[in-house]
Chains A and B, each alone.
Chain A
């Protein structure tokens, strides 16, 4: 039982490049989330999904897009990366909206 996994673990992009971060969970959770964590800011919600085929905006959605084509996967896309998107990105999942969330190991992204 791997829990929540994230790919890749590290990535360096140049300004304007695009990339997709992949999150997978094997707990059959309905809810999945993408957060970013910055020094002094804490964890902030980017987008979330309440089930396959659904997505919704969180606190800081600008510059990001998401897709949930399969229940176990949640993708986070950056269409045109900016230095302000340099951060550590965490994916999480939960059984219900008010249940505890289980986090992945994170992706450290640097945009030059």
Chain B
């Protein structure tokens, strides 16, 4: 069964305290792994797409990496404005739907 599991469910960091969020997936024939950011009361906002193991992408303080079984979202020296829920998603085997994880809620305090 195609599945996406994110951990931890919640993460509290101090400003400047770097950490990583994990997304593990089971799907046959990965067609793309997506990271989204969702602020309270808003729709998900696209961050990155990764297609193959070893691929990395960066945007400001965020860096996403991909292996054959999981992806990490590394947050370097986070700021309070990085507080949000981060969602991971992969396409199902047929490629007709995105399967989302339940998300990691990040809180960064100053």
Contacts and interface: CB of A to CB of B under 8 A. Distances in A.
A56 to B, nearest CB: 7
Nearest to B4: A42
A44 B101 CA distance: 10
Chain A interface extent, by class: 20 to 34
A101 interface: yes
Contact of A103 (B43, B96, B101): B43
Contacts of A106: 41-43
Nearest to A100: B46
B98 A90 contact: no
B96 A97 contact: yes
A58 interface: yes
Interface string B86-102: 01010100011110111
Nearest to B35: A100
B90 to A, nearest CB: 11
A101 B97 contact: no
B97 A90 contact: no
Interface of B: 31-32, 34, 36, 41-46, 49, 87, 89, 91, 95-98, 100-103
Q: Sorted from nearest, which 3 A-B pairs have the closest CB atoms?
A: A103-B43, A43-B100, A42-B102
